[in-house]
Amino acid sequence: MLCQEIELEEKIYDQCNFNYVFAAIDPKDRIDGFWIFSCSCYYNNTEITSIPRYNLNDRIWISEYECRRNFNRRVHEVSLCKHIKTCYVARLIVAQSQYNMHIPNWAKNYIGNDYYRKSMDIIRDLAPIPWGKDWKGRHGIGKVKLYDYTEYCVRLLKPIIGSKQWTCTCDMYTVWKSDCIHIYKVKLNEDRLRNRIDLCISLARKYINE
């Protein structure tokens, strides 16, 4: 098999399922205002995913302390899902920023580019109401909708002999060996970028000639 050089590689993320993450004031630590989290991905098939379990002592609720202690390992009863992890890290980033404290690099990397804005978008919806109670004496519970994404890798391969070839890791390309929607997206972005470059070059030449 001839060696092939990777001329271009790009990650494409497809939005698929979603879950709700809920946050409430930790009933065991109301003074310090710590949160507890739960996620609808733990619910059974008969439950409505957009409504939280109001029993804050239910084991589905996970405290910030448990999030910190078990972030990188599995718990014997409940595992920390990626949705709760995302919300825990978002809260950490926002809290550290508000108090002008250092934000750990691992937290920035976990959320990714534009980490503060993304974290604020999550916390804005997720933040529970610490003051006041409803008619049943419950504090307000925050809720945020988080989407799951499937990652695909699109590559443009340049063989030593022959024409260039686009590939993708999605099932459509794997089965049919034909250009999929992910390849078309990358091609479209490349065309737009090339057009912008050509426009900048033409404007620069025009400016120089003047």
Q: Does the model's pTM come out above 0.85?
A: no
Q: What is the pLDDT, as a whole number, of residue 103?
A: 94
DSSP symbol at 40: G
Which residues constitute the domain of residue 194?
4-11+150-209
Whether 153 shows a pLDDT value over 70: the answer reads yes
Stronger pLDDT, 96 or 3, i.e. the higher one: 96
C-alpha span between 107 and 42 (Å, rounded):
24
- Is 142 in the same domain as 186? no
Number of structural domains the chain divides into: 2
- Is 114 in the same domain as 166? no
- What is the arithmetic mean of pLDDT over 80-97? 94
Stronger pLDDT, 42 or 119, i.e. the higher one: 119
- Is 70 in the same domain as 143? yes
List, in order, residues 6 or more apart from 92 with CB less than 8 Å away: 103, 104, 107
